[in-house]
């Protein structure tokens, strides 16, 4: 069935799979940092979110540029890095929103933001990375 797809569709599917693997690793790493900071260090969830963001952003750029989108787009330039940083800031803002909404506003607990961090934010970042950063 995959072989019957148009080559562009197959390439996008391969990118999506690589992005999913990389994203799962980077997301797990970020959530691990978040939980470590919030639960073990007992710091505010937004501090955990900032530290998780920095860790995930650095790891994510390396993995996405070298593997996830390796056959997509041209040379990696300073513009690519700037765009990736902007998408990462959007990702951070989304996760900060989830922390504010579920922890601060709805008072659902410090682990409640993890669900949209796992499912909504990665979808948004895939679309932005594929369509804009690594074109």
**5: alpha, beta or left? (left if phi > 0; alpha if psi -120 to 50):** beta
Handedness of CA 75, 77, 83, 89 (dihedral sign): positive
pLDDT of 73 higher than 60: no
pTM: 0.69
- State residue 44's pLDDT score: 93
What is the length of the chain?
A: 135
- State residue 116's pLDDT score: 93
Mean pLDDT over 111-124 rounds to 89
pLDDT of 38 higher than 60: yes
A 10 A CB-CB count for 54 gives 14
Q: Which tens digits make up the pLDDT trace of 75-99?
A: 667 888 899 889 989 988 999 999 9
């Amino acid at each position: 069935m995959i072989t019957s797809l148009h080559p562009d569709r197959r390439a996008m599917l391969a990118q999506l799979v690589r992005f999913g693997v990389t994203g799962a690793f980077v997301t797990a790493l970020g959530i691990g940092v978040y939980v470590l900071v919030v639960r073990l260090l007992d710091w505010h969830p937004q501090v955990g979110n900032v530290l998780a963001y920095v860790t995930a952003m650095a790891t994510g750029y390396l993995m996405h540029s070298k593997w996830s989108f390796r056959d997509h787009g041209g040379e990696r330039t300073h513009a690519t890095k700037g765009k990736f940083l902007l998408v990462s800031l959007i990702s951070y803002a989304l996760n900060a929103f989830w922390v504010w909404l579920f922890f601060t506003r709805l008072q659902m607990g410090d682990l409640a933001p993890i669900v949209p961090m796992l499912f909504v934010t990665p979808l948004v970042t895939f679309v932005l990375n594929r369509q804009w950063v690594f074109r």
